[in-house]
Structure 1
Amino acid sequence: MEGHSELLKEIQDSPTDINAIVARRRKDFTGEFFRYLTLLSETYDSLEDRDAVARLGARCLSAVSAYDNTLDYVDTLEVAQAKFDDILDSPSVDVACEKIKSLSKAKELDSSLILLINSAWASAKESTTMKDEVKDIMYRLYKATKSSLRSIAPKEIKLLKHLLNITDPEERFSALATAFSPGDEHEAKDPNALHTTPKELHKWIKIMLDAYNLSKEDTDIREVKHLTQPVVIQRLFILKETIEEEYLESSRFQDSKTEGTTKSEEL
């Protein structure tokens, strides 16, 4: 608790340096820290004070999401980069946008490619040296991608909507574990019947956060429009962190363990 209050004080003392603080102390921005902010907010009687804490928490979440965009998904990144390069090599922006639409129709507009396009627009948007023409190209590609997302309707988005509507943390964690349980992939009326992998759901959480950060008011992803409340953004972030800590980290450990065993057998 003391560590959380110390981190909060540092943020409050330098509110314009949140990105730098996140870069330096990313490991301290845990789910527990954001739960601490929620509990702190509830101790205030003034709605203005509660809102101030909520808005500060939302800013922290945005900064953490932006920082985490540096994570690479090596297994699919090369394929996604090749697709993106092909899009950028188009003779015109209109042709490039059509390629994105075609990929969407062919169900090849995957999460890794969407993350690349989102990141490209984010970099262009924040750049002070990039020409306006380049920014316009990236923006149009970003908009075309967002528009195409509406027709994709991936099961991960439906699953996230269900998880975000669960208020009880333990029930949400249980539903998350169920979603990652082995079984035939199928859709049913019950969203719990949707199955996916931790890595894929993690990507879509990043996409949702990207969409929120890049275009809070004007987004074509209908689900993101419901992320205007800090508590919902917080749940999304906690889901992201839970997947990283409980599933992705253990998966990396198992992979390295398997690799070590294989090498030992070879020797």
Structure 2
Amino acid sequence: MLVLHSVHFDKEIPHWRTLMEEIRINVLVLVTLGKVKYTVNGQPIIAERGDLLVLPKGVRRAGENDESGLHQKYTILFHCGADVAEAIPFLRGNGPTLFKPRNFETVRRKFEQLFLESREAKSYSSFISLGVLQELLGMLAREFEQPEVSPMKMKYAQKIQQYLLEHYREQVQINELASLIRRSPNYTISIYREVTGHSPIRYLHQLRIIEACNLLLNSDMSISSISSYLGYYDTSYFFRIFKKQTSYSPSEFAVNGRLMEQSGGFV
């Protein structure tokens, strides 16, 4: 069992502070700017930009701004059953876990997506949010168990990822990505897969399908127009990729979304 309770975004709040208390819910904290100071079970923890802090339920914690200045962070609060806690390595213990996700930008976007879904009363929001949370926990668990990679490899992967985020609607070629880091195409694919767990092209498709889902539910664009807009000039290929990513065809997803709107959404 997995239940999303709430998602928050703290943006440079002056005099931010939380009192010492035992928390009754699991908490994920992703710091996106500056530093934040915590005391957890009597131990000081400094989380800085790029850090993920896991606070399992039952720990005692207090928090405040670091002396270096204000900070920004996302916070996800959720409940989970014993089966989920046992499956996720950083939820098994009774203490905090602090680590740097290698795929920081992807993780940040997942936090951001959950925050936006929690603020916008759109159809499928609860369903999508639960799926994003499950994917996020799985992604973080995989990274947590993988050995560390060198800073240079991390830098290469982040540079590739940022380029894909900015150009995902275009016809991106592996040679273009290879030229970004001045390495061979094979090395580029290999290093990106080593750092993120998947290929650059798979990530490109993920970005496109996330946008396609949004357009199907929240625009009047036709499926063929969405396909072309996202760089799929063969609509049948778009259908295949969409179904592979979501288990629905675009038309099924659009119809189900309209039905959910008419019935008032998920119960």
Q: Same fold (TM over 0.5)?
A: no
Higher RCO (CA 8 Å, separation ≥ 6 residues): 1
**TMscore range, shorter length:** under 0.3
TM-score (norm 2): 0.25
* Structure having the larger proportion of residues in helix: 1
